[in-house]
Amino acid sequence: MFAAQTTPVLSHAAKPAAWQSSIYISQAFNEVALKNEYDKARHRIRKWRIPVRVFIEHQVGDRALHTQLVQMQLTHLAEITGHDMQLVDTLADANLHLVFTRQSLWASEVTRLMGVKSAQNVHGSVCMGKFALNSKSEIERAWVIIPVDQAQMHGKLVACVVEEITQVLGLPNDSEKVFPSIFNDKTPQDLLTGLDFILLKLLYNPSILAGMTAAEVKSPVQFLLKQWQSDGTIEHADKIVRQGQLYPLLGY
């Protein structure tokens, strides 16, 4: 007579996620902060120095819902980065122009706000963002366009709000080398992950300056990651990031 053992094996410590390696995070930061989605060039660090003021242009219904989604994401991003981000009532007071439109106006709206060259990339895209820099690589203006019916058809309305507003803060590249992340089009992430949380904290740390090259940013990134490994910031990033208002709204 014999029997299988049913006593569970106790685990004394959770195994760290692969992305929590300082080397992985550093490489991920280089991917999303120092590259662009539509070119192969190496770029300098790009970030806002001035407060971000967002005007929403509603060309479709559900104004209250769309405004709520944007406000929740702006609040979350401001908490993570420490950067001042607020909605404003007029376009004249804004430096980030966000348009909720429809698929039939998608290409014309991209052309109107972002230019003919950007309109060449609408095919295969669900939504789009773009920013403009000054001579110091500081972001001065940005635009986000979301064709609501198209985004809903792909189940990506919330993802578009989250990803595009986040990317126009200075993390413009999508990469399959960054996981789990909203910056990876091959994964189903709709909301910010722990890795995204760390990438945003890196970019908006005062020691990371607009205009820095990959070589110049290496030392401060390494210093911050060593500090955050020691104090538990990286270990608890997945838990911390889920304190954003969008997570319970989507059932997380």
Region of 60 (left: φ > 0; alpha: ψ -120 to 50; beta: rest) is beta
- Output the average pLDDT for the chain: 92
Q: What is the pLDDT of residues 187-236, one digit of tens each?
A: 778 999 999 999 999 999 999 999 999 999 999 999 999 999 999 999 99
Partner residues linked to 100 by β-bridges? 58, 146
At residue 123, the pLDDT reads 84
At residue 15, the pLDDT reads 57
At residue 10, the pLDDT reads 32
Where is average pLDDT lowest: 114-123, 125-134, 195-204? 114-123
pLDDT at 36 over 50: yes
Where is average pLDDT lowest: 1-5, 81-85, 208-212, 226-230? 1-5
pLDDT at 12 over 70: no
Partner residues linked to 86 by β-bridges? 53
Sole residue written with tokens 């401001």 = 78
pLDDT at 9 over 80: no
At residue 120, the pLDDT reads 87
Let me know how long the chain is. 252
At residue 146, the pLDDT reads 98
pLDDT at 160 over 50: yes
Identify whether the C-beta of residue 105 lies closer than 8 Å to the C-beta of residue 147.
Answer: yes
At residue 1, the pLDDT reads 32
At residue 186, the pLDDT reads 81
At residue 180, the pLDDT reads 94
At residue 17, the pLDDT reads 85
pLDDT at 35 over 80: yes
Residue 42: band (very low, low, confident or very high) from pLDDT cuts 50, 70, 90: confident
Tell me the one-letter amino acid at 39: D
The burial class, CB within 10 Å (0-12 / 13-18 / 19+), for 17 is middle
